[in-house]
A and B are shown apart, each in its own frame.
Chain A
Amino acid sequence: MSGVHVDELLSDHVRGELTDAERTQVEAHLVECAACRSAREGIAHLMSELARTAPVPPPIHWGAYRAELRERIERRGSQPGALWSWLVRPAPALVAAGLVAALVYVGLPGTAPGPGAPDPLALDSTILASRLDLLARLDVVQHLDLLEDFNVIGELDELPEPSKS
């Protein structure tokens, strides 16, 4: 207990939660220190006041509460990829990162085109343009499960248009 000031132990003293050694130390101090005796009295009064006047939360309908809880559990249970759903949230970020990586790869020295090769800027633009449809379909990508993503992303053209509703 060394290093702990007695005043930090006063609320536990009020509640009788101190070890024998701590209680002995606190009580020895209280005999000598009027300020701490007064503080202990104040804390005891305050704690009693807090326990007596604790606010009552607004009432709720417990039947509805349990029904809602059951519904939430069933909803989770009916989603086979419930755990995966937390993991696939970064999917759009992964897609974007993939695009950036592709562009960076094209710009790397080892991948630089030789003489007579197509203009790299034009190549960048071509790659970016080829991926724009993917960004345009972000609403589709966002709702894909992770495992589905990798199979489907390559065949986005074959996906139906998202519903407008």
Chain B
Amino acid sequence: MESSDEQLCRDVAERKPGAFDLLVGRYQERAYRIAWSIVRDREEAKDCSQDAFLRLHEAAGSFAGQSKFSTWFYRILVNCCLDQQRRRRGWRRLVGWRDRRADGEDEPDPVEQAPAPLTDPLEHVDAERRMSRVWELVEELSPQQRAAVTLQCREGLATKEIAVVLKLSEATVRVHLHRALSTLRKRLGDEG
């Protein structure tokens, strides 16, 4: 019989051979996809998802089994991604991006507003073709709203699970989702 994710995680903590590889095999695509949904860069998404697996490898023993393994792991993953976003935002500040803007401090943060650059132009064209208008607008949401929308509408997580993943209360997640969906509807309506 196939081991559950939770059992595999306990096996990883005990360093049982093969357990970690099995978990990676089960989650690698989801991890990369979720990371990419948040950071929007192939290399960064790869790094963030690998960082999450590294943390899983080191901290499997701290999985208490109070939530599903997937929820616990997504929390690690989303933290890695949001940390990455903060670091990138920090670097942009450090190099004085804001100082070069002539139109004041209220200018929205470019990291939160703009899609992350894709290094390969052909890949960029492909990504544009793949992405519908509504997901282009999702790009303009804050990282937390984008994460909430992605986890709910794409990965199918319940609001309760998203709250655990994002370390927020359920009420706050509902507010995030409500604002995100309202913003999207308004912008789509304005365009339509």
Q: Which residues of A contact B (CB under 8 A)?
A: 4, 7-12, 15, 17, 39, 42-43, 46-47, 49-51, 53-58, 60, 62, 65-66, 68-69, 72-73, 76
Contact = CB atoms under 8 A, between A and B. Distances in A.
Q: Which of B45, B134, B181, B185 has the most CB of A within 10 A?
A: B181
Nearest to A71: B50
B126 interface: yes
B42 A73 contact: no
A69 B57 CA distance: 11
B178 A66 contact: no
Interface stretch (B28-36, B71-79, B82-90, B94-102): B28-36
Interface residues of B, number: 44
B46 A50 contact: no
A27 to B, nearest CB: 17
A53 B181 CA distance: 15
Contacts, number: 94
B50 A72 contact: yes
B46 A60 contact: yes
14 contacts: A8-B174, A8-B178, A10-B178, A11-B178, A12-B174, A17-B160, A46-B184, A49-B132, A53-B132, A54-B135, A57-B32, A62-B29, A66-B21, A69-B50
A56 B45 CA distance: 13
Contacts of A60: 32, 42, 46
Q: Which of A9, A11, A57, A66 has the most CB of B within 10 A?
A: A57
Given A55-B127, A60-B32, A46 B135 contact: no
Nearest to A3: B171
